Every structure is written in C-alpha cells, then in structure tokens.
C-alpha cells in the first residue's frame, strides 16, 4: 500500500501512483481534490516504502514501521501537533515517543516534521494500513505434459 504513495521533491503533499505514461508517471494528489498530474523524469520521485529512519544501533527502521508506531500511540487518528507551528522541542518529544532509538545526529527536525505531516495527510485521507501484511503464498508449479499438435489429413 505505502509503496504506491509518492513524495515529489519541490511539490507539497503526497501523491498516489495511478499509472505510467510515456516518459512520465501519472500521479494523483492524496487529498480531497484528487487532482491528477504527470511526474516527469526530471522530478525527484520517492516512494514512501523506500524511505527509512536511522537508529542508534546502526540499522534503519522503515517509514511504514514509524507510521505504525504513530498509529498505535495515537489510535489511528491524526496527530494534534501542527508540523509547521510546533516548537522544535515539541517535535523532538513527539518523535522520541514514537521512535525512542532514532539517531539524533542524522535525523533532523525538518525530517521529523515531514514524517508528522505525511502521517496526518495519509490518515486524513483514510490510509490506516501502512505495513504490508504479506501472506506468504507458495505458488505450486504443476508440470503439465506439453501438448502436441497433431495434424490430421
């Protein structure tokens, strides 16, 4: 689910991948307007599924896991902290509650604000399942005997 949600550098908000066009992606805004626009190769497009947050133990936590943690702490409701108006201390306290072992040297407050804003956008639009609940299905390959074409005269 989160793999199809995109962030485009230089454009506000989040976008949902609709389809692929000729040398572009067709994306739709994740808000009430549902405006469709093309995203070209020159635009820096990143899937939210590819983003991760640095932690102190030299590993990374996926953004989907951070969103799940926020959802558990706030009951799948939008967070009442404004990412634009909240003080730096409020943002750091929020992020420490959500991901206590984040790397304080490499994760900036601006990144924390972005995570908070993205979470609020997604929840406001009805997205509440962030991690893929992949059920491992084993595809059974059945070997069929090759069908031979017979010509009858």
Q: What is the per-residue pLDDT for 59?
A: 86
CA distances 95 to 52, 53, 88, 117, Å, are 14, 11, 11, 12
Q: What is the per-residue pLDDT for 134?
A: 52
Q: What is the per-residue pLDDT for 14?
A: 92
Domain with CATH 1.10.10.1650 in the chain: 52-129
Q: What is the per-residue pLDDT for 110?
A: 92
First-residue to last-residue Cα distance in the chain: 56
Q: What is the per-residue pLDDT for 151?
A: 45
Domain with CATH 2.30.30.730 in the chain: 1-50
Note the CATH number of domain 52-129: 1.10.10.1650
Q: Which residues of the chain have pLDDT under 50?
A: 135-153
Assigned CATH topology for domain 1-50? SH3 type barrels. (2.30.30)
**pLDDT, tens digit (0-9, with 9 covering 90-100), for 88-106:** 999 999 999 999 999 889 9
pTM above 0.85, yes or no: no
Q: Where are the alpha helices (DSSP H) in the chain?
A: 63-74, 88-98, 109-124
Q: What is the per-residue pLDDT for 148?
A: 42
């Amino acid at each position: 689910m989160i793999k199809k949600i995109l962030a485009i550098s230089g454009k506000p908000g989040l976008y949902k991948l609709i389809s692929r066009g000729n040398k572009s992606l067709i994306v739709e805004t994740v808000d009430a307007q549902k405006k469709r626009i093309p995203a070209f190769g020159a635009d820096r497009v990143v899937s939210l599924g590819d983003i991760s947050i640095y932690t102190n133990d030299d590993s990374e936590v996926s953004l989907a896991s951070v969103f799940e943690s926020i959802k558990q702490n706030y009951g799948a409701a939008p967070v009442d902290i404004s990412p634009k108006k909240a003080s730096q201390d409020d943002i750091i306290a929020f992020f420490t509650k959500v991901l206590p072992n984040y790397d304080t040297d490499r994760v900036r407050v601006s990144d924390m604000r972005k995570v908070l804003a993205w979470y609020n956008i997604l929840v406001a639009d009805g997205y509440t399942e962030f991690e893929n609940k992949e059920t491992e299905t084993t595809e059974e390959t059945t070997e069929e005997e090759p069908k031979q074409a017979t010509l009858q005269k």
